[in-house]
């Protein structure tokens, strides 16, 4: 669900078509979100979104 949401919102790939993050790191982030405490889920989601959308 998480990865599909990123893809649907155009966050998973850069404008050039290359991935913003490698597959292993993406799996690690998805597991981190899944295992986080319910009270911290919103914070974790914001953190991941910030990491993926930050312009460098």
**What contacts 24+ positions apart, CB below 8 Å, involve 48-54?**
49/11, 51/21, 52/6, 52/11, 52/12, 52/20, 52/21, 53/11
1-56 pLDDT, tens digit per residue, is 878 888 888 888 888 888 888 899 989 988 888 899 999 988 988 888 888 876 65
The pLDDT value given to residue 37? 93
The pair of structure tokens assigned to 14 is 């850069």
The pair of structure tokens assigned to 19 is 């991935």
Beta carbons of 52 and 11 less than 8 angstroms apart: yes
Domain definitions of the chain by residue range: 2-53
The pLDDT value given to residue 21? 86
The pLDDT value given to residue 24? 93
CA angle 24/15/7 to nearest 5° reads: 50
């Amino acid at each position: 669900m998480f990865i599909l949401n990123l893809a649907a919102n155009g966050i998973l790939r850069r404008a050039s078509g290359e991935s913003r993050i490698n597959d292993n790191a993406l799996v690690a982030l998805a597991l981190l979100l899944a295992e986080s405490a319910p009270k911290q889920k919103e914070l974790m989601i914001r953190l991941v979104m910030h990491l993926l959308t930050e312009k460098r």
